[in-house]
Amino acid sequence: MKRSVWLLLILALVIVYPLLFTTPFLQRLGALVLLYAIAASAWNIVGGYAGQVSVGHVVFFGCGAYASMAFFTHFGWPPIAAVPVGMAASVGIAALIGVPTLRLSGHYFSMATIAVAELARLIVTNVEALGAAVGLSGPVMPRTVFDLSFTSALPYYYLFLAVLLVVLGLTYWMENSRIGFYLRAIKDNERAARSLGVQAGRYKLYAYMISAGLTSVAGTLYATMYGFIDPESGLGILTSVKILIMAALGGAGLLFGPLVGAAILVPLEEISNNLLGGKGAGLTFVVYGAIIMIIARFYPSGLLKLLLDRMAAAKPAPSDKQVRDVA
Amino acid sequence: MLLEAIDVTKTFGALTVVNTVSVSLNKGDILGLIGPNGAGKSTFFNCLTGDLMPTSGRVILNGEDVSMMTPEQRAVRGLARSFQVPQTFETMSVLENVMIGAFLRTSDPARARRRAYEVLDLVGLVDVASAVAGSLGTPGRKRLEIARALATDPEILLLDEAMAGLTATEVRQAIELVRKIHQTGMTLVIVEHIMEVIISLAQQVIVFHQGHQIARGTPQEVTRDPAVVTAYLGKRAAANAARGFAGDPA
Ligand SMILES: Nc1ncnc2c1ncn2[C@@H]1O[C@H](COP(=O)(O)OP(=O)(O)O)[C@@H](O)[C@H]1O
Ligand SMILES: [Mg+2]
């Protein structure tokens, strides 16, 4: 009851945010937070819940982004119409990476994801139809409203919010159904899970494919808003790392963890970019590296978990002694 | 015949850890596997559960050859196990641990939760249902593993040293629990290196020594077997025999 009141309050704040903060910078910032929250929440399904750390999620982001720009460029589709194409390609790639590697220990999977993402970036850089090194653009002038080409960030803000709510709703449903339980069990102890009949390989693959499909939607939305995609923005390793860090910082395996992470990191990055201009990119890597080390050292389960634990500690819980006596 | 192992052999490189061991169990049997540390009990056990594939030989479950099947495939077919070193889901609650087992027979969380509570009640862990599994001590974890396995509604339950590391009182409670489970009609394979536990539970015992089956029979027969007394019981046997233990195990 208390929890749902809090959630409604926060949701209300998120809904009115761009109406209270009306400068283009702040509205765009809000939209970007939501966009990265979508990508990080999608990553969370395989990286957080199933514990299979993908370091190459940008390949799915790129699929979504490139699908929209390519189908506009070659066939004149409204960019958003390519969502199913990007999703299908992403799910297919996820299966190609996941089937051979998810059966092995987690490190092989992580390394394979990086390798495939970098390979994709190299290939796209050399494919003329995908704009090669220059990239692809969306509609210069909106032909119809379906091109989703707006000067204000406000429509994007609400579009992204709607998609984020769908992603979080799906995650919530998953969390409370058998697959969610199974993924957590696999993350905790795969061997034990298998002894109880959990088809670990299959469930990890499901999680990866769902995650890939949803990440691709984030890519399409990104391209729709920016109206442009190139190998660096669409397939660069920095985006993979960004997605991963947001989820880990906020709390991997927690429903709202990635949103919290995005709400902290996106403003940080935008502000530092504004202050430092083009020189910011190198520094961004350094900052991300530092954040990874701090999370790993001090908050391995993320900031949101830290907060929830603090709140739980304030309430009386069954004491350790009681637990030991009965067991 | 519910479970049958025929000439199971497992080698690691040049090392033969299990050498042509055969067992067979009917419904309702309790089979004990004993032997000193390193005798190959767990390795044989893992060949039965699918954690290891036998190098040669066959494992038959309910008339079906499962020798090359994965642990999850065998679980679906009614085989459940505990681990010698507890492998609980540390970050999940005791209840959730057991629900993972129950989910094998239902996809409905409410049903899985109900089934989990039933099993927790049976093993005496209801009071700690909401505690995190990682907060339990060894006895609690071993009990939890049994609960989790039972929640899969198995036909046969295999326990690998479910009583190692327990105090005398806890061992007695654990023996009571195994009896209770057996009374529900369960078939059991129990691995122990504590002879007393096997004697009080098993109807049929197989003694392992350096990968070989060196004796088989009722606990009484086995403890009188000279080969067992020298090979397995060793020094302790001498002491126990002095107290009349080996000759009068009951
Ligand atoms: N994966 C493995 N590789 C090599 N040797 C192993 C492996 N697993 C077990 N062994 C060896 O097999 C022997 C039997 O081990 P185990 O089956 O655990 O014995 P027990 O359960 O009877 O104590 C031991 O000597 C152990 O070192
Ligand atoms: Mg052992």
Q: Within 10 A of B235 (CB to CB), how many other CB atoms are there?
A: 7
Nearest Cβ partner for B81 among A176, A195, A200: A195
For residue B249, the model assigns a pLDDT of 40
- Closest residue in A to B140 (Cα–Cα): A327
| List of chain B residues whose C-beta atoms are within 8 Å of the C-beta of residue A196 | 75, 80, 100-101, 103-104, 148-149, 151-152
**C-beta of B35 in contact with ligand 1 (< 6 A):** yes
Three-state SS for A281?
helix
Task: Tell me the count of A-B CB pairs closer than 8 A.
Answer: 105
Biggest CA pair distance of chain B: 58
pLDDT of B236 reads 59
User: Residue B247: what pLDDT?
Assistant: 41
Mutational pocket test of ligand 1: of B8, B10, B15, the residue with most ligand atoms within 8 Å of the beta carbon: B15
Q: Which residues of chain A have pLDDT under 50?
A: 317-327
* Token output for B216: 């088989």
CB pair distance less than 8 Å for B87 and A318: no
Residue nearest to atom 4 of ligand 1 (CA): B12
- Cβ pair A257, A251 in contact under 8 A: yes
pLDDT exceeds 70 at position B75: yes
Of A197, A318, A324, the CB nearest to B104: A197
pLDDT value for B165: 85
Inter-CA distances, A3 with A173, A209, B14, B131, Å: 17, 31, 60, 21
Q: Could you give the percent of chain B with pLDDT greater than 90? A: 72
B115 lines ligand 1 (CB under 6 A): no
Tens of pLDDT, residue by residue over B8-19, are 999 999 999 999
- Using the mean position of ligand 2's atoms as its centre, give its distance from the Cα of residue A18 in Å: 63
Q: Is the CB of B165 under 6 A from ligand 1?
A: no
How far apart (Å, rounded) are the C-alpha atoms in residues A255 and A172?
7
B12, B69 contact by CB (below 8 A)? no
pLDDT for A57 equals 95
- Ligand nearest the Cα of residue B12 is 1
Ligand nearest to the CA of B55: 1
**Residue B32 Cβ contacting ligand 1 at under 6 Å:** no
Q: Is B81 in the pocket of ligand 1 (CB under 6 A)?
A: no
Say how far apart CA B45 and CA B160 lie, in whole Å: 8
Instruction: Between A34 and B38, name the one with better pLDDT.
Output: A34
Ligand nearest to the CA of B21: 1
Residues 6+ apart with CB under 8 A from B151: A196, B98, B99, B100, B101, B102, B104, B115, B116, B119
What whole-number distance in Å separates Cα of residue A50 and Cα of residue A172? Answer: 14
- B190 forms beta bridges with B32, B159
Per DSSP, which regions of chain A are E strands? 136-137, 228-229
- For B189-238, the DSSP string reads EEE-S-HHHHHHH-SEEEEEETTEEEEEE-HHHHHH-HHHIIIIIHHHHH
Helical segments of chain B, H only = 41-49, 71-76, 94-102, 109-123, 138-150, 168-183, 195-201, 219-224, 226-228, 234-242
Give the model's confidence band at B228: pLDDT under 50 very low, under 70 low, under 90 confident, else very high.
Answer: confident
Cα separation of B76 and B61, whole Å? 11
Rounded Cα–Cα distance for residues B2 and A251 (Å): 47
pLDDT class of B226 with cuts at 50, 70, 90: confident
* Contact yes or no for A188 and B91 at CB 8 A: yes
* Residue B221 distance to chain A (closest CA, Å): 34
How far apart, in whole angstroms, are the C-alpha atoms of residue B123 and residue A16?
A: 52
Residues of A in Cβ contact (< 8 Å) with B137: 324, 327
Find the closest chain B residue to A187 by CA distance.
B89
User: Which amino acid makes up residue A124?
Assistant: V
Q: Taking the mean position of all CA atoms in its chain, how far away is CA A293?
A: 20
Compute the distance between CA of residue A36 and CA of residue A244 in angstroms, rounded to an integer: 10
CB atoms within 10 A of CB A125: 17
pLDDT of residue A308: 80
Question: Which is nearest to A79 in space by CA: A126, A144, A19?
Answer: A144
Q: If you classify domain B3-78+155-247 with CATH, what class do you get?
A: alpha beta
Choose among B23, B43, B35, B9: nearest CA to B156: B23
| pLDDT value at residue A1 | 57
* CB hemisphere CA count around B230 (13 angstroms): 3
Nearest CA among A233, A302, A236, A210 for reference residue A265? A302
The domain ranges of chain B are 3-78+155-247, 88-153
Position A318 scores a pLDDT of: 47
Are A100 and A255 spatial neighbours (Cβ–Cβ below 8 Å)? Answer: no
DSSP class of residue A50 equals S
| Contacts of B127 by beta carbon, 8 Å cutoff, 6+ apart | A322, A326
For residues B249 and B197, the answer to whether their CB atoms sit within 8 Å is: no
Are A194 and B70 inside 8 Å of each other by CB? yes
Q: Is B188 helix (H, G, I), strand (E, B) or coil?
A: strand
Q: B-chain residues within 8 Å CB-CB of A326?
A: 124-125, 127-128, 140
Percentage of residues in chain B having pLDDT higher than 70: 92
So what's the ipTM on this one? 0.90
Task: Point out the ligand 1 atom lying closest to the alpha carbon of residue B84.
Answer: 21
Q: Identify the helix (H) or strand (E) that includes residue A120.
A: helix A106-125
Q: Are the CB atoms for A60 and A90 separated by under 8 Å?
A: yes
Closest by alpha carbon to A187, among B71, B145, B91?
B91
pTM: 0.90
Length of chain B measured in residues: 250
What is the distance between the alpha carbons of residues A280 and B189, in angstroms, rounded to a whole number?
A: 64
How many CB atoms within 10 Å of residue A175? 17
State which amino acid sits at residue B99. M
* Ligand 1 midpoint to CA B4 (Å): 22
Whether pLDDT at B250 is above 50: no
Mutate to test the pocket of ligand 1, among B9, B11, B12 (most ligand atoms within 8 A of CB): B12
